[in-house]
Amino acid sequence: MSIEKTTGQLKDLARHFGASAVGVCRTEKLVERFHPEIRETAKKLPFAVSIGIALQPVVLKTIIDRPNFMYKSHYRATNTQLDNITYRLAQWISDLDHKAMPIPASMVLQRFPMIGHVNHREVAHTAGLGWQGKNNLLINREYGSRLRLTTLLTDLELIADKIEDRDCGQCKACLRKCPTEAIGETPEQFDLQKCRDQVVRFSKENNFGLLICGLCLNCCPPPKKEKTDNGQTTAD
Ligand code: B12
Ligand code: SF4
Ligand code: SF4
């Protein structure tokens, strides 16, 4: 099978399993930042498939000024679905006599600092799924901040996608929504400490128990599409 065909089949399969967005990149420039638990194994898996599932807007609309139990349940269900997609894709890749490692969607390996096996946002960006937003999330052209992400590493040769070299432009919608003013005028000004303190406070209210928030995703619109002079569609 040609590389084009394999890549197309894998992406179709991911969408069939429930992915909203799929991209591919090489991992050579990322692997040194992967967690030591997987780094050496990952060096033999030079391709990453980045997968996103868009959270349902109707669920996000129920979040007014703090995370709620509806969002908590949807968050968990989406993580399970992401893990399910990478699990099934890994089986498909094994059947082609290649290796694949599904990375957990949302596992925290240590508390100080809190890190996962792989930075899914960095992989998604490198695989062409979007750019770094002012709210420090991966912003996708179609779904804004609503994509939850995961990664599959593999030695199956695939065609890499192009990076989308963009930014949020003049939009500042999320700056006003963050209850702790963690979001600045540029992604570099994002204050992770303030955000972390806020999600810890939320987790202690009403026995909520989870470090999530959601306020900077439910206000993040997919960037507006505009017609250019040559009739193509672009986003600002
Ligand atoms: C631990 C964790 C947290 C910790 C943060 C700790 C930390 N240092 O990152 C806490 C609990 C505070 C947290 C909060 C949130 N999180 Co969180 N979190 C994670 C987790 C499990 C690991 C992140 C990690 O390894 N960080 C350590 C390293 C990567 O940090 P670093 O090198 O210092 O890099 C920092 C920045 O430079 C930036 N960064 C670096 N490179 C790039 C590249 C791009 C393109 C972008 C956008 C950012 C970025 O991210 C890091 C800061 O967080 C990931 C899942 C995963 N495995 O990726 C989800 C993840 C990042 N979280 C996610 C989300 C949605 C949230 C929340 C909105 C909570 C919620 N679900 O409601 C907030 C938003 C915080 C924010 N605005 O950044 C999503 C992001 C999806 C997206 N579209 O971007 C992820 C990918 C989970 C998932 N499976 O989808 N999170
Ligand atoms: S997750 Fe909440 S506290 Fe953190 S930046 Fe977004 S809105 Fe602010
Ligand atoms: S709300 Fe606007 S400024 Fe904030 S991350 Fe989304 S697109 Fe960027």
232 within some domain:
no
Tokens found for residue 186: 């540029």
228 within some domain:
no
Q: Which residues pair with 26 in a beta bridge?
A: 47
Rg (C-alpha) for the chain, rounded Å, is 18
Closest CA to 50 of 137, 136, 154: 154
Q: What is the pLDDT along the chain (236 residues), one digit of tens a residue?
A: 899 999 999 999 999 999 999 999 999 999 999 999 999 999 999 999 999 999 999 999 999 999 999 999 999 999 999 999 999 999 999 999 999 999 999 999 988 889 999 999 999 999 999 999 999 999 999 999 999 999 999 999 999 999 999 999 999 999 999 999 999 999 999 999 999 999 999 999 989 999 999 999 989 987 665 444 443 433 33
Residue nearest to atom 67 of ligand 1 (CA): 212
For residues 150 and 157, the answer to whether their CB atoms sit within 8 Å is: no
Structural domain range at position 98: 1-222
200 within some domain:
yes
Closest CA to 174 of 211, 128, 134: 134
What global pTM score does this model have? 0.95
Give the integer Cα–Cα distance in Å for 168 and 175: 12
Tokens found for residue 220: 């993040």
Closest CA to 125 of 90, 93, 163: 163
Give the integer Cα–Cα distance in Å for 142 and 21: 9
Indicate which ligand has the atom closest to the C-alpha of 172.
3
152 within some domain:
yes
135 within some domain:
yes
Ligand 1 pocket, residue 196 CB under 6 Å: yes
Residue nearest to atom 1 of ligand 2 (CA): 213
Residue nearest to atom 7 of ligand 3 (CA): 168
Give the integer Cα–Cα distance in Å for 219 and 34: 31
Residue nearest to atom 55 of ligand 1 (CA): 106
Indicate which ligand has the atom closest to the C-alpha of 214.
1
- If you measure from the C-alpha of residue 194 to the centroid of ligand 1, how many angstroms do you get, rounded to a whole number? 14
For residues 102 and 86, the answer to whether their CB atoms sit within 8 Å is: yes
Closest CA to 88 of 127, 119, 115, 49: 49
Number of domains in the chain: 1
234 within some domain:
no
DSSP-assigned letter for residue 97 = T
113 prior amide bond cis, ω within 30: yes
231 within some domain:
no
Pocket test for ligand 3, best of 140, 220, 224, 236 (most atoms within 8 A of CB): 220
Tokens found for residue 81: 């679905």
Ligand 3 pocket, residue 224 CB under 6 Å: no
Residue nearest to atom 26 of ligand 1 (CA): 115
- Residue 236's pLDDT is 39
